[in-house]
Amino acid sequence: MNYEKGNGYIMKLDHIREKMESGQLCFGTHCSTTEPWYYEMCGFLGYDYVWIDNEHAGMTMPMVQNAIVATNAGGCAAFVRVQNHDISNVKPVLEVGTDGIIFPMVNTPQEAEHCVSVCTYPLRGVRGFGPLRAIQYGNMPLEKYLAQADRSVLKLLQCEHVDGVNRLDEILEVPGVDGIICGPMDLSASIGKMGQLTDPEVVGLMQKIIDTCKAHHIPFGISIGVNYDLIKFWIDQGATFASMGTPADYFWCMSQQAVAKARTFEAQRSHIGISQLPNK
How far is it, in rounded angstroms, from Cα 102 to Cα 55?
10
pLDDT (tens digit, 0 to 9) for every residue of the chain, 280 residues total? 444 544 445 568 888 999 999 999 999 999 999 999 999 999 999 999 999 999 998 799 999 999 999 999 999 999 999 999 999 999 999 999 999 999 999 999 999 999 999 999 999 999 999 999 999 999 999 999 999 999 999 999 999 999 999 999 999 999 999 999 999 999 999 999 999 999 999 999 999 999 999 999 999 999 999 999 999 999 999 999 999 999 999 999 999 999 999 999 999 886 665 555 566 5
Partners of 154 in beta bridges? 100
Is the separation of the CB atoms in 115 and 91 below 8 Å?
Answer: no
**Residue 2 has what pLDDT?**
44
Q: What domains can you pick out in the chain, each with its CATH number?
A: 25-257 (3.20.20.60)
Alpha helices in the chain (DSSP H): 8-21, 36-45, 61-74, 87-95, 109-118, 142-148, 162-166, 168-171, 184-189, 200-216, 228-236, 247-272
- Residue 229's CB: how many other CB atoms inside 10 A? 9
